[in-house]
C-alpha cells in the first residue's frame, strides 16, 4: 500500500469501507450526498437505470427509500416519493397530474390556507385555473364536475380546521367519470384511520411533519400513488424541483411511524373525551368533531371506533380577543402553529393557517374569529381538560372586565 501524507490520510482514512455482511436491525442514516463506483462504466449503468443503485442523493438515498417503502405499504400504494415538506409533496402531486395552461383544478373549499396559495399564486401563474366547491354536497359537486371537466379534484380528509370527512369513494367516482384524478391530503387521518387509495383516490399526500413524525422534530412530506405509472412524474418532481427529504428527517419520521398506531390510539381516545366534555360547556358555542357530523361518512371512511385526534371549538364570545385570551391562559396545552405531536397544541386558524384568506371568505367557510383548533396529545386527558376549563374561565373573566371598562 502506498504511503500517504498525514494531510491526505486526514481526508481518506477509514472511508469507503466494505459494507458489513450482517444486516442492521435499524435502517442506518446514509449521510452521503454521492456514491462512488469501481469504474465509470458501472456508474453509467446506474445513470441509465440498467443497475438499480444510488449515484446522488437528490436522485435517491437508502434512508429515504426505507421511509418511502414503509409509507407505501401502509397506504396500500404502488409507489411513494418523499419531499422536504407537505407543501412540496402537494406541489409534486399536482405537477404529476399533467396540469397545463387552461387546465382546471376543482378544489374543496375546505383546504389548508397555503394550499389555496399554491393553487392560485404558483399554478395560477402558469395558466392553471382553480374553482372551488363544497365536496360534502355531492349533487352540486357532480354538476360542477360535469360543467368544468377538471383535470384534478383536490380535497382533504379530515379537513382543516372544520374536520369534515370526505366521502372518498363517491368523489373518486365523480372524478373518474370525466377522466379527472382525485388527490387527497390525508395528513389529519393518517393511514391508521383512513387509506384513500383503497377508496379510489389516485394520489394521497401527507405532511409527514405532523402525525407521521409525531414528535415536532422533523419536517417532510410524501406522495403515494395508486398506479406505478405515476412513478416517473413523481421522481422527476423530486429530481428537478429539488425539494427532497433530508436523510436526517427521513430517519426521524421513520422512527415516528413505528409508534403511530400507539400514539393515535391514545390521541383519538383523548380527543373523544375532550369533545364530549366540551360539547355542553357554557363558554363554547360549538364543537367540530367528526363523530358529531351527520350523514355517516365518518363511520364509512375512518377506522372505527376512532374519529381522529383533533377537535375545533368556537367560543361563545366568537371574537379574536376572546380566542387569544383563552389561548394565552393555557398552562399545559401548547400554543403552536402545528399539530399531530405527542403534546396537545392549540392554533387560531384565522390568524395562522388561514390568515391569507379574506375575512369574509373565512367567515363564509365557518372559520370565525372565535374558532380554536385543538390537536390532542397523549397526556392524561383529565389534566388536559382541566387546563382547557381553567383557561376558559380566565378568558371569560377577562372578557367581562373588558366590557365593563
What pLDDT sits at residue 7? 83
What pLDDT sits at residue 222? 98
Domains of the chain by start residue, with CATH: 58-258 (3.40.640.10), 261-404 (3.90.1150.10)
Known catalytic residue at 210: yes
Cell of 292: 358529531
Burial class (CB in 10 A: 0-12, 13-18, 19+), 400: exposed
What pLDDT sits at residue 175? 98
**DSSP tag of 24:** P
What pLDDT sits at residue 403? 60
How many other CB atoms are found less than 10 A from the CB of residue 59? 15
What pLDDT sits at residue 405? 53
Rounded to the nearest angstrom, the gap between the alpha carbon of residue 328 and the centroid of all alpha carbons in its chain is 27
From the list 30, 112, 192, 289, the catalytic residue is 112
Known catalytic residue at 4: no
pLDDT by position in tens, the chain (length 405)? 688 997 888 788 888 888 777 888 889 999 999 998 889 999 999 988 899 899 899 999 999 999 999 999 999 999 999 999 999 999 999 999 999 999 999 999 999 999 999 999 999 999 999 999 999 999 999 999 999 999 999 999 999 999 999 999 999 999 999 999 999 999 999 999 999 999 999 999 999 999 999 999 999 999 999 999 999 999 999 999 989 999 999 999 999 999 999 999 999 999 999 999 999 999 999 999 999 987 789 999 999 999 999 999 999 999 999 999 999 999 999 999 999 999 999 999 999 989 888 888 898 899 999 999 999 999 999 999 999 999 999 998 776 665 655
From the list 195, 210, 263, 373, the catalytic residue is 210
4: left (phi over 0), alpha (psi -120 to 50) or beta: beta
What pLDDT sits at residue 13? 86
Known catalytic residue at 211: no
From the list 110, 185, 202, 341, the catalytic residue is 185
Task: For residue 397, give every residue at least 6 positions away whose Cβ sits within 8 Å of its Cβ, in sequence order, or none.
Answer: none
What pLDDT sits at residue 361? 87
Known catalytic residue at 35: no
From the list 58, 109, 285, 394, the catalytic residue is 58
Cell of 268: 383519538
Amino acid at each position: 500500500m502506498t504511503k500517504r501524507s498525514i494531510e491526505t490520510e486526514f481526508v481518506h482514512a477509514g472511508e469507503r469501507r466494505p459494507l458489513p455482511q450482517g444486516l442492521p436491525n435499524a435502517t442506518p442514516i446514509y449521510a452521503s450526498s454521492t456514491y462512488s463506483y469501481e469504474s465509470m462504466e458501472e456508474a453509467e449503468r446506474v445513470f441509465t437505470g440498467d443497475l438499480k443503485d444510488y449515484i446522488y442523493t437528490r436522485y435517491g438515498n437508502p434512508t429515504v427509500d426505507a421511509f418511502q417503502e414503509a409509507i407505501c405499504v401502509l397506504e396500500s400504494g404502488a409507489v411513494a416519493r418523499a419531499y422536504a415538506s407537505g407543501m412540496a409533496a402537494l406541489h409534486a402531486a399536482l405537477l404529476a397530474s399533467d396540469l397545463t395552461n387552461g387546465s382546471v383544478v376543482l378544489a374543496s373549499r375546505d383546504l389548508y390556507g397555503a394550499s389555496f396559495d399554491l393553487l392560485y399564486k404558483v399554478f395560477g401563474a402558469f395558466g392553471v385555473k382553480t374553482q372551488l366547491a363544497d365536496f360534502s354536497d355531492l349533487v352540486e359537486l357532480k354538476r360542477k364536475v360535469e360543467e368544468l371537466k377538471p383535470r384534478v379534484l383536490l380535497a382533504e380528509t379530515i379537513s382543516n380546521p372544520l374536520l369534515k370527512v370526505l366521502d372518498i369513494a363517491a368523489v373518486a367516482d365523480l372524478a373518474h367519470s370525466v377522466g379527472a384524478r382525485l388527490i387527497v391530503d390525508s395528513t389529519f387521518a393518517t393511514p391508521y384511520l383512513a387509506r384513500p387509495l383503497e377508496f379510489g383516490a389516485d394520489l394521497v399526500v401527507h405532511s409527514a411533519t405532523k402525525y407521521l413524525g409525531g414528535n415536532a422534530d422533523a419536517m417532510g412530506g410524501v406522495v403515494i400513488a395508486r398506479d406505478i405509472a405515476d412513478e416517473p412524474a413523481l421522481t422527476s418532481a423530486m429530481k428537478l424541483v429539488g425539494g427532497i427529504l433530508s436523510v436526517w428527517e427521513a430517519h426521524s419520521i421513520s422512527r415516528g411511524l413505528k409508534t403511530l398506531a400507539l400514539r393515535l390510539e391514545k390521541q383519538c381516545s383523548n380527543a373523544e373525551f375532550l369533545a364530549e366534555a366540551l360539547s355542553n360547556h357554557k363558554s363554547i358555542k360549538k364543537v367540530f368533531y367528526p363523530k358529531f357530523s351527520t350523514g355517516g361518512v365518518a363511520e364509512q371512511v375512518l377506522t372505527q371506533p376512532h374519529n381522529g385526534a383533533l377537535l375545533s371549538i368556537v367560543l361563545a364570545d366568537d371574537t379574536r380577543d376572546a380566542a387569544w385570551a383563552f389561548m394565552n391562559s393555557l398552562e399545559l396545552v401548547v400554543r403552536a402553529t402545528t399539530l399531530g405531536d405527542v403534546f396537545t397544541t392549540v392554533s387560531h386558524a384565522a390568524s395562522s393557517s388561514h390568515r391569507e384568506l379574506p375575512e369574509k371568505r373565512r367567515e363564509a367557510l365557518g372559520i370565525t374569529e372565535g374558532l380554536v383548533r385543538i390537536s390532542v396529545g397523549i397526556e392524561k386527558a383529565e389534566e388536559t381538560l382541566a387546563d382547557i376549563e381553567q383557561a376558559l374561565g380566565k378568558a371569560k373573566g377577562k372578557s367581562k372586565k373588558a366590557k365593563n371598562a
